[in-house]
Amino acid sequence: MSRMPSHVERHAVNRIGWLRAAVLGANDGIVSTSSLIVGIAATNADRHAIIAAGVAGLLAGALSMAAGEYVSVSSQADTEAADLERERQELATQPEAELEELAAIYVERGLSPELARRVAEELMARDALAAHARDELGIVEQLAANPLQAAWTSALTFSVGAAVPLAAAVLTPPGMQLWVTMLVTAMALAILGALSGWTGGAGIVRPALRVLFWGILAMAVTSGVGFLFGQVV
């Protein structure tokens, strides 16, 4: 008897937990720090003031991203835990009602009532809570909230992203920091968008253009504010 070839599938959804936080952190690091540097540079501030603003933006942003992600994802995790505990209690006190509820879900998805009940019975016999968490609550292991992972990922990727425009400002001669920082930032945003799209399996062109558009818009606004204040002062 010939052996059936194995078929292994790798889905991008398995990476969504850390990918979202990584892209958000890096994008925010690049855009916010470059916008800060560009805004300060547009006021004709000296080199030290521009670099100091960039360093302060990197540190403050990384800490803010970590704290914000931790609080936000912790709230999500608390909600998921409360829903799972409620489901656990209902399974213990109302098993038949929970069986009917799960079977009804499968009927709505296209199974016949008889098959839906049989599937629900087999899944609940194996792991009732997991079956209800997945099919009733929409909680799956790959998408479960992880506050520490989100916080560290966001802080680290923000710092890496912010380091790009900051390095451009540090290495660029005085008088050219505004335009060089904008150019380097635009290139970094395009690369980030392309990488995030490729990692997520969604192509590279549209994600790159989307990230690039909003980053350029942010720098245009802050540089405009900087020029305005520079003229006033």
Dihedral angle over CA of 157, 164, 179, 212, nearest 10: -40
Q: From CA 233, how far away is CA 221, in angstroms rounded?
A: 18
For residue 18, what pLDDT band results from cuts at 50, 70 and 90?
low
**What is residue 233's predicted lDDT score, i.e. its pLDDT?**
44
Contact yes or no for 31/189 (Cβ under 8 A)? yes
Q: What is the band of 80 on the pLDDT scale with cuts at 50, 70, 90?
A: confident
In this structure, what token pair is assigned to residue 175? 């008088």
Q: What is the mean pLDDT of residues 12-30?
A: 68
193 within 8 A of 8, measured Cβ to Cβ: no
pLDDT on residue 139: 74
Q: What is the pLDDT of residue 141?
A: 63
Confidence of residue 81 (pLDDT cuts 50, 70, 90): confident
What pLDDT is attached to residue 145?
61
Number of Cβ within 10 Å of residue 109's Cβ equals: 9
Q: How confident is the model at residue 153 (pLDDT cuts 50, 70, 90)?
A: confident
What is the Cα–Cα distance from 19 to 64, expressed in whole angstroms? 19
| Contact present, 128 and 91 (Cβ < 8 Å) | yes
pLDDT of 232 = 47
Region 170-178: mean pLDDT is 86
CA separation (Å) from 146 to 81, 88, 143, 156, 158? 12, 21, 9, 16, 18
State how far the Cα of 62 lies from the Cα of 28, in Å rounded to an integer.
9
Least confident segment among 103-112, 140-149, 195-204, 214-223: 140-149
pTM exceeding the 0.95 threshold for the entire prediction? no
Tell which wins on pLDDT, 202 or 28: 28
| Lowest mean pLDDT segment, chosen from 6-15, 34-43, 180-189, 193-202 | 6-15
How does DSSP classify residue 201?
A: T
Contacts of 65 (CB under 8 A, 6+ apart): 24, 25, 28, 29, 151, 154, 155, 158
Q: Rounded mean pLDDT of the chain? A: 83
Which tokens hold the place of 6? 């194995």
Q: Where are the alpha helices (DSSP H) in the chain?
A: 16-41, 47-93, 95-108, 113-135, 147-171, 177-199, 205-232
Radius of gyration of the chain, Cα coordinates, nearest whole angstrom: 25
Q: Are 187 and 198 in contact (CB under 8 A)?
A: no
* Rounded average pLDDT over 151-159: 88
**Lowest mean pLDDT segment, chosen from 35-49, 72-86, 149-163, 191-205:** 191-205
Mean pLDDT within 185-190: 91
pLDDT tens-digit profile of 190-227? Answer: 888 888 777 766 778 888 888 889 888 988 899 888 88
Nearest to 230 by CA among 71, 73, 53, 40: 40
| DSSP codes of every residue in 128-143 | HHHHHHHHTS---GGG
Residue 92 CA to residue 90 CA, distance in Å, equals 5
Q: What is the pLDDT of residue 1?
A: 43
